[in-house]
Structure formats: structure tokens, C-alpha cells
Amino acid sequence: MATAIQLQALTKQYANGRGIFDLSFSVAPGELFGYLGPNGAGKSTTIKSLMGFLTPERGSATINGQDVTTQSVAVRSQVGYLPSDLFLYDAMSGLEQISLSLQARGQSDLSRAKQIADRLEVDLGRKVKTLSRGQRQKVAITLAMAHDPAVLLFDEPTTGLDPMAQEILHGLMREEAGRGKTILFSSHILSEVEALCDRVAIIRDGRIVTVDQIARLKQNRVKRVSVEFTGPAPDLASIEGVREWKAESATRASFAWVGAPRALLTLLAAHDLTNIQIQDPSLEEVFMTFYASSKEER
């Protein structure tokens, strides 16, 4: 399979011991690939390594066949980068900053930038310091896409955007993928990744927990269940799919459910209940599930 982005045992460790470790995954050309993880998991470190901001200690990464460390300039010429933190000059207008970015790539046509800005409803002529957080994010998105790059690296792109702008951005990302552009975008919002991607990598504590299809991810998704029994709570800890069983009182218990919803309903139907609560888990719980299963696999 041809790959647009390839990471091979990529490792970058900071002085405090955190970082990314042995990351290996690939993204196909034209793929919209999600990179999911909680804050501090290593998503930004991965993307900064791909941009050549950080030099990996071990392993390698390529974008369209070019090494991100030794051919960094060539890589950056074909990449559109949107960092998680705002990085624009306050005293300059969006248009000025986009013009410079285009000039650095031997381009001068601002028509694409203007089209994207129109879609996002942002005024590129205004100085960045006069714009709101969301408007600044829109300028940064326009900047990343203005030179029509083959690969887009978006680090939490919807940060600061209102729901309407998020929808527009999602539309733009789908269109770009439809035009054959490769997009790797990081997020800590599960629903956002689900809505956009077919495939996702989950990172936790700097290590890849899983790289999988979203559909399979959904199947494995954990639910947080609280139940109150009419009589004494039975011990269901050993039932397949039940994790983190906890007896809250004589009649109440809570647990995490990993598996198909139907199997959960079958399990609960076998008992007399006075109350039941089934909640979507926090993202952390999803990670814990994958983390636990990846440990078991080892």
C-alpha cells in the first residue's frame, strides 16, 4: 500500500521523561486520519516531529517518501500545518502572513486563501490582534491550506471554533480528502474523530495503543453502567465484558462494560433491577480500555 505519512518506531523523549515512544503507523494518500489522545499524550509532539521542529532520538518518519529530519525543507514545502496553539503575529494581518507563506513556496496567488476565508467567514485584511480567538483560528486554518498542500497536519483544529465553524471546517477537510489530500488531525474529542475519519490511532502516554478502523473502535467502546438491584447485588466481576466492578452498597454496583450493547442488556435482564444508568464513558475510560487490552495482549 502506498503511504503518504509513515512513522517507524519514532521516539522523542523530553528531559522530564515524557515524549513519544516507538510510534509506528501509516496514513494512506487521500486518507482523513484521526489521531486521538488526551492532553499530554504526545499528539503535538508527534506532529512537531513530523514538521521537523523536534529531532527524534530513534526511528524515522517520512511524508510522501521524504524523511522529515533530513529533508525537512522539502517536506514542509508540501505540508500545511496548523498547530494547537495560536502562532500568528498579532501586529500583522492574516493576508500579510499568508502572502509570506506563499512566497516562501514560490507562489503568489491569494485566490485560494480568499476562497477558504470566505467559507470560514473571516476577514483576512484585519490585524490578528483585533480578531477573536475563533477568528484567529480561522486565519490559521486558511494559512495552513492556502498553498494547496498535499498533506495537512492539523493539531486540534477545532479549538476555539464555534459549532457552525467546526461544521464548515469538517466540510473543508472532507473536500480536501476527496481531492486526494492526506490529512492527519489530532483531537481529544472522540465524536469529532468519529464523524470525520475511517481510521484512527489512539495514543496514550506517548505510546500508540491502537490503530484501527472507527467501526471496530465503536464495537469495543466501553460504557459506564450503574445498577441498583431489588435484592443484594450479585458479584458480576467475573462476567466477560465487565471491568472495574465496584459494589457501591449492598444493593448498588457500578462497572465498565466492554462489548456489544445487546450482550449488556442480556446480562442485566437476568436480574431484578430498581434503577439503571448507562453512560458514555469519558475518553479516559476509552483509553483505559484500550490500554488494558493492549497490556493483556502483551
Partner 1 sequence: MIARHFLRLQRGALVGWSLILFLLSLASGASAAAVQDQANAAALMNSLPPTLQKLAGVDLILGSHPVDGFLAMKWFLLLPVILGIYGALTAAAIVARENERGTIGYLLALPVQRGRLLRERFLTLAGALAWLYFVDVVGLLVGLKSVDLTGTPGRWALLMLGYYAVNLAQAGLTLLFSLYLPSWSRSVQAGAGLVIGLFLIDTGLAMADVPMLGRAPFLYGLTDVRGALLHGQLPWPALLVGLCLTILTITLAERRFARQQITA
**Least distance (Å) between residue 262 CB and partner 1:** 46
The answer to whether the CB of 241 falls within 8 A of the CB of 264 is yes
Closer by beta carbon to partner 1, 34 or else 149: 149
Nearer to partner 1, 85 or 272 (CB): 85
89 interacts with partner 1 by CB under 8 A = yes
Contacts to partner 1 from residues 93-132, by CB under 8 A: 96-97, 100-101, 103-105
State which residue, 91 or 269, has the beta carbon closest to partner 1: 91
Task: Name the helix (H) or strand (E) containing 68.
Answer: none
Q: Of 1, 17, 39, 73, which lies in the binding site for partner 1, with binding defined by CB under 8 A?
A: 73
Rounded least distance, CB 195 to partner 1, Å? 27
Contact 174, 152 (CB under 8 A): no
By CB under 8 A, the residues from 16 to 45 that bind partner 1 are: none
Give the whole-angstrom CA distance, residue 217 versus residue 199: 9
Part in contact with partner 1 (CB under 8 A); list of ranges 28-36, 49-57, 182-190, 248-256: 49-57
**44 or 158: CB nearest partner 1:** 44
Exactly one of 77, 220, 254, 293 binds partner 1 (CB under 8 A); that residue is: 77
Report the amino acid identity of residue 221. R
- Angular region, 156: left φ>0, alpha ψ -120 to 50, beta rest: left
Q: Is 52 in the site for partner 1 (CB under 8 A)?
A: yes
Task: Out of 34, 37, 42, 83, name the contact with partner 1 by CB under 8 A.
Answer: 83
3-state DSSP assignment of residue 59: strand
Rounded (5°) CA angle 154-28-111 = 50
- The least distance separating partner 1 from the CB of residue 258, rounded to whole angstroms, comes to 36
User: Does residue 212 bind partner 1 (CB under 8 A)?
Assistant: no
Q: What is the rounded CA–CA span in Å between residue 38 and residue 187?
A: 8
DSSP class per residue in 121-144: T--TTSBGGGS-HHHHHHHHHHHH
Q: Tell me if 51 contacts partner 1 by CB under 8 A.
A: yes
> Which lies closer to partner 1 via its Cβ, residue 144 or residue 217?
144
Helical packing angle, 163-178 and 111-120, nearest 10°:
140
Question: How far apart, in Å, are the Cα atoms of 269 and each of 21, 229, 246, 274, 278?
Answer: 44, 11, 19, 12, 14
Q: Which stretch binds partner 1 (CB under 8 A): 74-82, 173-181, 222-230, 238-246?
A: 74-82
Asked if 281 is part of the footprint of partner 1 (rule: CB under 8 A), the reply reads no
DSSP 161-222: --HHHHHHHHHHHHHHHHTT-EEEEEES-HHHHHHH-SEEEEEETTEEEEEEEHHHHHHT-E
Count other Cβ atoms within 10 Å, centred on residue 98.
Answer: 25
Nearer to partner 1, 132 or 266 (CB): 132
Q: Which is nearer to partner 1, 74 or 247 (CB)?
A: 74
Q: Helix, strand, coil shares of the chain as percentages rounded to 5?
A: 35, 30, 35
Give the interface size with partner 1 as a residue count (CB under 8 A): 29
Closest approach of partner 1 to the CB of residue 76, in Å: 4
Binding site for partner 1 (CB under 8 A): 14, 48, 51-55, 73-74, 76-77, 79, 81, 83, 85-92, 96-97, 100-101, 103-105
